Amino acid sequence: MALKLDISKAYDKVEWSFLRKVLFKLGFHDHFIQLVLLCVSSVSYSFILSGRQFGHIVPERGLRQGDPLSPYLFLLCTEALSSLISRAELEGHLKGICISRGAPSISHLFFADDTLLCCHASTEALNCIQNILQVYGKASGQEINYQKSVIVFSKNTPEPVMSFISEGLGIRKADRHEKYLGLPSVVGRSKRVVFESIRDKIWHKVSSWGEKQLSQAGKEVLTKAVVQAIPTYSMHVFKLPEGLVREIESMIAKFWWNSIENRKIYWMPWTQLCTSKLHGGLGLRDLRAFNSAMLAKQFWRLLVHPDSLVGQVLQARYYPGSSILDADLGSRPSFTWRSIFSSKALIQAGYRWRIGDGRTTKIWIDPWIPRLPSFCPRNAIGPLPPPTTVCHLFDLASGDWNVPLLSSIFDHDDCMAILSLPLSRAPLCDEIVWHFTRSGSFSVKSAYHVVVTAPEEFDQHTFLLCPFARIVWALSDLRWDLICKWTVNARDWLFHVYKMLDHSEFNLFLTICWSIWWSRNKRWTAHEVSTPDQTIAFARNYLSAFSGFLDPHHSLSTSTAPVKWSVPPNDVVKINSDAAIFEEAGAFGVGVIAQNSQGQSLAWTASRHHRTLSPEAAEAWAARIAIQLVVQQGWTKIIIEGDCATLHIKLTTPEDRSSLISPIIHDILVAS
């Protein structure tokens, strides 16, 4: 059975003497306890009647609601109730619920002032619960509101036992559709009945708004901020039924096209409304895709935090002794597990391992190479080693990759992709990261974009792969082999082409890209079709006209303040580090120099590395060499300067240390 207890005026009835004893029992210092009680007891109340203030009431108990300290103090007080329940379970008076062999026993769950007790239904459990609630209430001042509390029994509980316990506690039995923390506690066969409240709330909103004369902008704001936010909370845990999703989409479409009462023409399909504004839509949320992204967040938590309580419960029930990535749906799955499991394919499409010591990641099985499409090695040119871990590819002497071994196993492209991964010189475990964020942390936003769009593929198709675009480039006289190499995204592609073309060619290249985009938008919005000849002619004429506005004899010049080296304080050594990328040669170089307050060079180093790194990773590599130089020289008062702002953010933000360069970040932090 499960008891959902409602505490009457939970914050207002906490006894201050009880709070003092709890803090003392938890080991807080007497001075800290006095400060906390001063914060709690300094409150006073008065009343305002007809604009006049009356009374000055000084309470003797209670925690102020709205005070940021109050929720934490209340949680500390509930630790006393938790201790009573745990001791009763340890002594055998209560028996918690264990859903499967190997699963942890659960006797109680607390969330703020919401209390859920779980145990086997028996007379001994009834007496024990009554005694615990009486002792806790007498000590803390808390009172249970038995009228608002409910009790839920399993279907295997005999009816006489249910009636006896319900009457003994004075708590009513709940129906099947009772909610806990805003979500249904039991989901049966009829999903429509369980989630009917969502549909009713949305219909109430859109029907009341339909009577008002709202602009399209107003409708867009209300739809995005209110209507589509209503089912979001349930989407965290449950996959909404397809029928409910279609009803919600229908109600939103009726509201948008003013057809709530009278049937009118829908001038655009729903899928186009859900397309981003960048691609010609309204940017409404695709509920199915968003639901999948929200459930993927729960799947991700189970993946990276398998030791959490919910992780232990689900693992014991559905995938004992293995990872959630190896789990299947299982027999008789719950609706919650079925919902979370539906996002497995999305997680598999975006997770990979960030290499630390390489002892966990398997070379041929696990995804770990970010620059490859499947994150796994594609081609092997030499004898395949057994299914071993990535650490066997390291050179133990240098702490870096074993280049001869890599060259003997993988082809050139795979080797370069592997060498682009920086390794840590300090002990660092392998870590699962999300590929589609720079930090490596999972986000619902990035997962949603993975489901609904592939921005890089869209841009690549628009500017390169589309037959229309290919004809335009053929007419441009630009070298196709220099512009056809698509990189990670459109921005990197532009930088790549910038290095390949001269100034005038690059100006034409940019103008043609803009002309292709302009032709595409005219086809979508104004239904005007341009031919490739017209598109390239428009680009050439536009560039020629623009160049004519510039005076060739008086070119625009910009004055920039020269960058000066600032002198460090006395007895302080300043180390400057920088990196340079040689993309054509597939290499990068780093330079580090140390100077004193007189500008004298104390030490310097420069090196060239034959591997391809991102600019951020190369700057981090240079910073690591600077730290190593400091350690070698034994300097204690130092200033290290670089020109990479994102590196500074990653060094100072603990939440941003799961990125591709986190092994180097780890080395820098350990050395410093």
* 283-293 pLDDT, tens digit each: 888 999 999 99
User: Measured on CA atoms in the order 294, 299, 300, 306, is the torsion positive or negative?
Assistant: positive
Helix (H, G, I), strand (E, B) or coil at 380: strand
φ/ψ (deg, to 5) at 308: -65, 165
Beta strands per DSSP E along 567-600 = 573-582, 587-595
Q: Is residue 312 part of a domain?
A: no
**HSE-up (13 A, CA, CB side) for residue 229:** 8
**Of 496, 493, 497, nearest to 505 (Cα)?**
497
- Which of 287-301, 401-415, 637-651 has the highest mean predicted lDDT (pLDDT)? 287-301
Cα separation, 362 vs 392, whole angstroms: 10
Residues 460 and 397 in one domain: no
Residues 139 and 239 in one domain: no
**Tokens representing residue 338 in the block:** 């079925």
Are the C-beta atoms of 512 and 482 separated by less than 8 Å?
A: no
Calculate the alpha carbon distances from 347 to 133, 237, 317, 319 in Å: 44, 16, 21, 17
pLDDT band at residue 456 under the 50/70/90 scheme: very low
Q: Is the pLDDT of residue 561 over 60?
A: no
Residue 373's pLDDT is 75
Q: What is the DSSP string of 484-538?
A: ----SSHHHHHHHHHHHS-HHHHHHHHHHHHHHHHHHHHHHHT-PPPPHHHHHHH
Q: Is the pLDDT of residue 458 over 60?
A: no
pLDDT band at residue 310 under the 50/70/90 scheme: very high
Calculate the alpha carbon distances from 491 to 94, 181, 355, 494, 608 in Å: 62, 44, 26, 5, 26
Q: Is residue 424 part of a domain?
A: yes
Within 10 angstroms of residue 513's Cβ, the number of other Cβ atoms is 22
- Spatial neighbors of 343 by CB under 8 A, at least 6 apart, are 292, 293, 295, 296, 298, 299
- Spatial neighbors of 264 by CB under 8 A, at least 6 apart, are 257, 258
Percent of the chain beyond pLDDT 70? 92
Q: Is residue 302 part of a domain?
A: no
Cα separation, 663 vs 476, whole angstroms: 45
Residues 155 and 47 in one domain: yes
- Which of 177-191, 298-312, 475-489 has the highest mean predicted lDDT (pLDDT)? 298-312
Cα separation, 123 vs 132, whole angstroms: 14
Q: Is the pLDDT of residue 101 over 80?
A: yes
- Spatial neighbors of 228 by CB under 8 A, at least 6 apart, are 252, 284, 285, 287
φ/ψ (deg, to 5) at 405: -65, -40
Examine the fold and report which residue of 500, 533, 548 is the final residue of a domain before the chain moves on: 548
* 130-166 pLDDT, tens digit each: 999 999 989 988 888 888 888 888 888 888 888 888 8
Residue 331's pLDDT is 84
* 162-188 pLDDT, tens digit each: 888 888 888 888 766 577 777 777 776
Cα separation, 443 vs 276, whole angstroms: 18
- Spatial neighbors of 458 by CB under 8 A, at least 6 apart, are 279
pTM of the model: 0.77
Q: Is residue 62 part of a domain?
A: yes
Residues 7 and 149 in one domain: yes
* 320-378 pLDDT, tens digit each: 989 999 999 888 888 999 999 999 999 998 999 999 999 999 998 899 998 887 888 87
Residues 107 and 16 in one domain: yes
Domain CATH code at residue 579 = 3.30.420.10
Residue 563's pLDDT is 61
**Tokens representing residue 205 in the block:** 């909103």
Cα separation, 495 vs 462, whole angstroms: 18
Q: Is the pLDDT of residue 121 over 70?
A: yes
Residue 216's pLDDT is 83
Residues 528 and 591 in one domain: no
Examine the fold and report which residue of 429, 446, 466 is the final residue of a domain before the chain moves on: 429
Residue 11's pLDDT is 84
Calculate the alpha carbon distances from 6 to 12, 80, 116, 176, 237 in Å: 14, 17, 9, 18, 23
pLDDT band at residue 42 under the 50/70/90 scheme: confident
Which residue in this structure is represented by tokens 């009647």? 49
| Structural domain for 633, as ranges | 573-671
Least confident of 28-32, 264-268, 429-433: 264-268
Cα separation, 50 vs 286, whole angstroms: 51
Q: Is residue 162 part of a domain?
A: yes
Examine the fold and report which residue of 250, 285, 320 is the final residue of a domain before the chain moves on: 285
Cα separation, 434 vs 659, whole angstroms: 9
Residues 170 and 64 in one domain: yes
Residue 384's pLDDT is 63
Residue 193's pLDDT is 76
Residues 12 and 98 in one domain: yes
End-to-end CA distance of the chain: 55
Q: Is the pLDDT of residue 298 over 60?
A: yes
Contacts of 102-106 with CB under 8 Å at 24 or more apart are 102/316, 102/320, 103/312, 103/313, 103/316, 103/317, 104/309, 104/312, 104/313, 104/316, 106/309, 106/313
Residues 43 and 70 in one domain: yes
**Amino acid, single-letter form, for residue 28:** F
Q: Calculate the CA 579 to chain-centre distance.
A: 31
Q: Is residue 334 part of a domain?
A: no
Average pLDDT, the chain: 85
Which residue in this structure is represented by tokens 């394919």? 345
Cα separation, 94 vs 133, whole angstroms: 14
Least confident of 199-208, 222-231, 241-250, 272-281: 272-281
Q: How many domains does the chain have?
A: 5
Helix (H, G, I), strand (E, B) or coil at 395: strand
**Tokens representing residue 607 in the block:** 């090196």
Helix (H) or strand (E) holding 244: helix 242-256
Phi-psi region of 416 (alpha: psi -120 to 50; beta: other; left: phi over 0): alpha
**Amino acid, single-letter form, for residue 209:** W
Least confident of 189-203, 542-556, 596-610: 542-556
Helix (H) or strand (E) holding 235: helix 232-235
Helix (H) or strand (E) holding 111: strand 108-111
Mean pLDDT of 270-276: 83
**Tokens representing residue 129 in the block:** 């619960």
Residues 10 and 107 in one domain: yes
pLDDT band at residue 475 under the 50/70/90 scheme: confident
Mean pLDDT of 559-571: 73
Q: Is the pLDDT of residue 529 over 80?
A: no
Residue 554's pLDDT is 43
Q: Is the pLDDT of residue 551 over 60?
A: no
**Of 66, 63, 67, nearest to 19 (Cα)?**
63
pLDDT band at residue 557 under the 50/70/90 scheme: very low
Are the C-beta atoms of 151 and 172 separated by less than 8 Å?
A: yes
Angle value at C-alpha 6, between 147 and 336, nearest 5 degrees: 110
Residue 23's pLDDT is 93
Q: Is the pLDDT of residue 484 over 70?
A: yes
Q: Is residue 370 part of a domain?
A: yes
pLDDT band at residue 559 under the 50/70/90 scheme: very low
**Tokens representing residue 618 in the block:** 């190369």
Q: Is residue 300 part of a domain?
A: no
Q: Is the pLDDT of residue 52 over 90?
A: no
Higher local confidence (pLDDT), 158 or 653: 158
Residues 395 and 265 in one domain: no
Helix (H, G, I), strand (E, B) or coil at 423: coil
pLDDT band at residue 425 under the 50/70/90 scheme: confident
Mean pLDDT of 474-480: 79
Residues 585 and 624 in one domain: yes
φ/ψ (deg, to 5) at 434: -95, 125
Residue 177's pLDDT is 59
